[in-house]
Structure 1
Amino acid sequence: MIKKAVIPAAGFGTRFLPATKAQPKEMLPIIDRPTIQYVVQEAVDSGIEDILIITGKGKRAIEDHFDRNHELETRLEEKEDQLLLDEMRRLSDMANLHYVRQRELNGLGDAIRYARHHVGNEPFAVLLGDTIMDSVIPVTQQLIDTYAQYGGSVIAVEEVPHDKVNRYGIVGGKSLSDRILEINTLVEKPNIQDAPSNLAIAGRYILTPEIFAMLEQTPAGKNNEIQLTDAMLLLLKRENLYAHRIEGKRHDIGNKLDFLKTTVEFALKRPEFADKFRAFLEEILRKE
């Protein structure tokens, strides 16, 4: 049983400057909920309520978002807005949230190292804080089920166009089923001709605690950072690793175009304004 999750959320978000100069990119809203709330909700929906968020300088807004705001609650009580009041209170009760600050931005692998004392000797989930998964069964739950079946670390993957494999961490290996691959190699942003497949790492992991020893042995890699992919390559020499092709759609909120697409797609799913919004989009397209 996976009881703990880690959400790395320490990056600068430079691709969204100046919007992220004074607020975390993980707090950029999709309609009326910040990105990281969707991520925390996925962990909770997967049965995990003990969550460590790795933050950095300027990320205090994340803590404030999930904390109680008594003044706001009092104002909502006075306005007799019970639905919104209940939602605000649910935010602070949805999980046991803990925070630790990454002192220097030395890569995803370095961020994961900060979770060692919180995780202890247990397997744990990792959910990237700027990636939203839209799925019927939470993607983290899908990985937990695969871990329960095979017992090794599990990486979420998705197919990407072959000409774009150099943008991602790519896995290769032997198919065990339609969804499961036993990994024999991982490459961070390979050249197109050297890529072992077109299966890209998709921002969700189940990792065994042995990953921490591997991270300590991992030298700085691309961009002079500690790459989690490099540490998992070391882990592969000690235990089996598996890839799970996700059922659902990944939304990379760290990318401006995907952020816009995600906002539109989520808006079209909201019953209170989906029809009017669709009509608005159709009107715009007719004028093009």
Structure 2
Amino acid sequence: MFYVQQHRPLGLGHAVLCAADFIDDQPFAVVLPDEVFDPGVNFLGEMVETFEAEGVSVVAGMEVPHEEISRYGAVAAEDLEAEPLRIRSLVEKPPLDEAPSDVAIVGRYVLDHAVLALLAKLEPGALGEIQLTDALDLLAREGRLIGKLYHGRRWDAGNKQGFLRANFDLAAERPDLAPTVAGLLGRPGA
């Protein structure tokens, strides 16, 4: 396993480009650490199997409450019940009234190396960032991107409340930590 460091926050697409020399012409996974999936489910392994079976890039999708979709990239697909999802396009953090669906992209990607060439051609957006979603949208419009729906437990640890919830929930399931969690939750003011 290799990792690279992005020295300046210039977007997820830029972060992927930072790893281009390691990727070469191989498929690769992008796993966002602030999206915590149920550790008892090997969903990334399932995504790799889907990639190998279909031969195109795969993103993890999950239905979220409508009021939350503007925090994520949203999926427009031919049939939101299909497996895998045949994605037509992606919209990064759409306004609620413009979201094509309530299926969000949730931080797991298994990608063909071809996405690197698309990322290299993208112009930075308004915030000076290169967005992975923009390159994936191009793949989707060419029929080279599908989605795999995740139905398990997931925590958005990208905010303080989600980070705490993930830690408490998962610690409470461990025999060695459950008593500590119970004690913390039982304290007045905790």
In 2: Cα distance, 1:148 partner to 1:137 partner: 19
Task: Identify the residue that residue 136 of structure 1 maps to in structure 2.
Answer: 40
Query: Unpaired runs of 5+ in structure 2?
Result: none
1:156–1:243: 8 Å Cα contact kept in structure 2?
yes
Task: Identify the residue that residue 3 of structure 2 maps to in structure 1.
Answer: 53
How do 1:32-51 and structure 2 match up within 5 A?
51=1
In 1: Cα distance, 2:114 partner to 2:177 partner: 48
CA-CA distance at 1:245 after TM superposition: 0.9
TM-score by length of 1: 0.61
Task: Identify the residue that residue 218 of structure 1 maps to in structure 2.
Answer: 122
- The alignment status of 1:125 with 2:75, answered yes or no, reads no
- The alignment status of 1:236 with 2:140, answered yes or no, reads yes
CA-CA distance at 1:280 after TM superposition: 4.9
How do 1:259-270 and structure 2 match up within 5 A?
259-270=163-174
In 1: Cα distance, 2:52 partner to 2:80 partner: 15
Task: Identify the residue that residue 158 of structure 2 maps to in structure 1.
Answer: 254
2:12–2:131: 8 Å Cα contact kept in structure 1?
yes
- The alignment status of 1:162 with 2:162, answered yes or no, reads no
Equivalent position amino acid for 1:201 in 2? I
CA-CA distance at 1:256 after TM superposition: 0.4
CA-CA distance at 1:236 after TM superposition: 2.5
CA-CA distance at 1:246 after TM superposition: 1.3
Query: Unpaired runs of 5+ in structure 1?
Result: 1-50, 56-101
In 1: Cα distance, 2:143 partner to 2:16 partner: 19
CA-CA distance at 1:272 after TM superposition: 1.9
Rate the CA distance shift 1:216–1:274 in 2: closer, same or farther, 3 A: same
CA-CA distance at 1:176 after TM superposition: 7.8
Rate the CA distance shift 1:266–1:230 in 2: closer, same or farther, 3 A: same
Rate the CA distance shift 1:191–1:211 in 2: closer, same or farther, 3 A: same
Rate the CA distance shift 1:106–1:267 in 2: closer, same or farther, 3 A: same
**3-state SS of paired residue (1:270):** coil
Match of 2:95 among 187, 191, 212: 191
Rate the CA distance shift 1:220–1:265 in 2: closer, same or farther, 3 A: same
**3-state SS of paired residue (2:3):** strand
Rate the CA distance shift 1:121–1:109 in 2: closer, same or farther, 3 A: same
Rate the CA distance shift 1:126–1:234 in 2: closer, same or farther, 3 A: same
Match of 1:116 among 3, 13, 20: 20
Equivalent position amino acid for 1:180 in 2? P
1:188–1:229: 8 Å Cα contact kept in structure 2?
yes
Moved more, 231-240 or 161-170: 231-240
**Matched-pair identity in %:** 36
- The alignment status of 1:148 with 2:98, answered yes or no, reads no
CA-CA distance at 1:105 after TM superposition: 2.0
Structure with bigger RCO (C-alpha 8 Å, 6+ apart): 2
In 2: Cα distance, 1:222 partner to 1:261 partner: 33
How do 1:18-33 and structure 2 match up within 5 A?
none
In 1: Cα distance, 2:89 partner to 2:28 partner: 22
**3-state SS of paired residue (2:127):** helix
Task: Identify the residue that residue 86 of structure 1 maps to in structure 2.
Answer: none
Equivalent position amino acid for 1:251 in 2? W
In 2: Cα distance, 1:133 partner to 1:202 partner: 10
